[in-house]
Each structure stands twice: as structure tokens, then as C-alpha cells.
């Protein structure tokens, strides 16, 4: 019978061959060394598995980046390193930015016979989906190349409550979580169920149809809606209010 020998030294993992995702935590990976003749495990080694989202570094000889098609180049907003009280935050506690300034746009896209320009202009401050795009280190700053459809909305202030959603996005103020059970027992923060109900604050202009025309959403500001529990991107306003931005297709019902 043929036997196969597997050892830790026979396995090499190259970072460039891995798809990396921000938010994955390091994990312990166990490799076993064994003698195939005896069939006995001799030892176990624990390796610290590391998933790194490494930005592509653009060499200084390149002086500009021109996105193609419906892609947009965004200069990522700097991460806050201190709290409002002046306390230094460790890197693990720093909030990953989901916004930045549009610095270049592609030529747009064609739907049917209609040529459509990018709807955001250079200089616009935008908010984008958490795991969207490809990070690029260019001209001493972090940038993100992403598709226009990955942009959640335009934010002209420093408070997320003023977000103007794009395309088929819906911006919702999340309802407060229940503080007590039906029997009157107080719930701890860990046991509070994540709400999936909220009030619509703003809606985008709607998706594009096959001819490149906007199709208005059936949801309006002021509607109380029920949405998919794990959809969208969560945000917190300056006053601590919770918001969520999601696609209209993730809204399941209007409540009244």
C-alpha cells in the first residue's frame, strides 16, 4: 500500500498566494510530524497563522494612478490614534476607516447603448463598504481602488447621520435593543439581541435598469422597516446612535 508523508517542513505558504481579509484574527494551526511506517504521531508543532492585508506599494517612479472603467481611487481617511480625551489608542483598538476622498475616477461604464459617467466627482468625501477594493500605498498615503458600486454614500460632514446613500442603498437608524425579556428580566449587553428593525433616514436614487435609467426605490424616508439581520455596514453616530447602510434588496418588509 502506498503511503504519503506529511511534515510541517514540506508545507510553505506564500502571502502573495493568499486572499487576505481585514478583520480575520490570527489562529493557531497544528501540524503533526509522524512516521508513516509506524503510524505513530511523534510530535505536534503549533504555528501562529497570520493573515495580513498588505497594501500594494506603487514605486515612486509612477506619479499617477488612473482607474479604469467604473473604478474609483479613494485616499483613505487617517485612522484616529487618540480618543477625544487625548488617550492614545493601541492599533487593535483603532477604528478602521471606511471613508476617504475621491482623488481619481474611471471613464464610467456602458449599459446597453447608454454610456454612464461615474456619479461621484474628485474631491467628494465618500463612505465605502468595509471589505471593498484593493488597498494601494501611493505617494506616501494609503489609497483604495474600488468599484463605484462599492461606495455606500457621500458624507459632507463628520457625522455619519448626514450620509447621502448612492444607488440602491438605504440608510437606517437602528431601533434600540430590548432592555428586558418578556418576563421582565434585565438583559446584559452581551445577551441583547441585535435589532433588525429601524427607521429609514435616507435612500439612494435607485439602481440602473437595462437601459441605464434609474429605477426609484419603493422605500421612503420615515418608513419603519424590517431588514436582514446580518446585512449591510454598521455605523455609530457622534451621539452614540447606531445606524446601518444596506441594499434595498436586504429590506424585507415595511412595518406600520
Calpha distance 54→242 (Å, rounded): 30
Place of cell 498588505: 54
pLDDT in tens, 181-203: 556 555 455 544 566 999 999 99
Residues listed for the chain: 256
∠ CA 92-73-231, rounded to 5°: 55
Q: What are phi and psi of 248, to 5 degrees?
A: -60, -30
pLDDT in tens, 197-256: 999 999 999 998 888 889 999 999 999 999 998 899 999 999 999 999 999 999 999 999
Q: What local confidence, expressed as pLDDT, does residue 32 receive? A: 45
Torsional sign, CA 10, 15, 20, 26 = positive
Closest to 171 measured CA to CA, from 152, 156, 149, 150? 152
What residues does 203 pair with on adjacent strands? 170
pLDDT in tens, 112-150: 888 899 999 999 999 999 888 999 998 889 999 999 999
Place of cell 462599492: 150
Contact 198, 175 (CB under 8 A): yes
Amino acid at each position: 500500500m502506498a503511503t504519503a508523508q506529511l511534515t510541517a517542513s514540506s508545507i510553505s505558504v506564500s502571502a502573495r498566494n493568499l486572499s487576505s481579509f481585514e478583520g480575520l484574527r490570527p489562529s493557531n494551526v497544528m501540524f503533526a510530524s509522524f512516521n508513516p511506517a509506524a503510524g505513530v504521531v511523534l510530535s505536534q508543532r503549533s504555528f501562529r497563522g497570520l493573515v495580513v492585508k498588505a497594501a500594494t506599494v506603487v514605486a515612486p517612479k509612477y506619479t499617477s494612478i488612473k482607474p479604469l472603467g467604473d473604478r474609483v481611487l479613494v485616499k483613505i481617511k487617517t485612522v484616529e490614534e487618540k480618543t477625544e480625551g487625548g488617550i492614545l489608542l493601541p492599533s487593535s483598538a483603532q477604528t478602521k476607516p471606511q471613508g476617504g476622498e475621491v482623488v481619481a475616477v474611471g471613464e464610467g461604464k456602458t449599459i446597453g447603448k447608454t454610456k454612464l459617467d461615474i456619479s461621484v466627482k474628485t474631491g467628494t468625501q465618500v463612505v465605502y463598504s468595509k471589505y471593498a477594493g484593493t488597498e494601494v500605498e501611493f505617494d506616501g498615503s494609503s489609497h483604495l481602488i474600488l468599484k463605484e458600486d462599492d461606495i455606500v454614500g457621500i458624507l459632507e460632514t463628520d457625522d455619519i447621520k448626514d450620509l447621502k446613500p448612492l444607488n440602491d442603498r438605504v440608510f437606517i437608524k437602528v431601533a434600540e435593543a430590548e432592555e428586558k425579556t418578556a418576563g421582565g428580566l434585565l438583559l446584559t449587553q452581551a445577551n441583547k439581541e441585535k435589532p433588525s428593525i429601524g427607521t429609514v433616514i435616507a435612500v439612494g436614487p435607485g439602481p440602473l435598469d437595462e437601459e441605464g435609467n434609474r429605477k426609484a426605490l419603493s422605500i421612503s424616508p420615515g418608513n419603519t422597516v424590517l431588514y436582514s439581520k446580518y446585512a449591510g455596514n454598521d455605523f455609530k453616530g457622534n451621539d452614540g446612535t447606531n445606524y446601518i447602510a444596506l441594499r434595498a434588496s436586504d429590506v424585507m418588509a415595511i412595518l406600520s
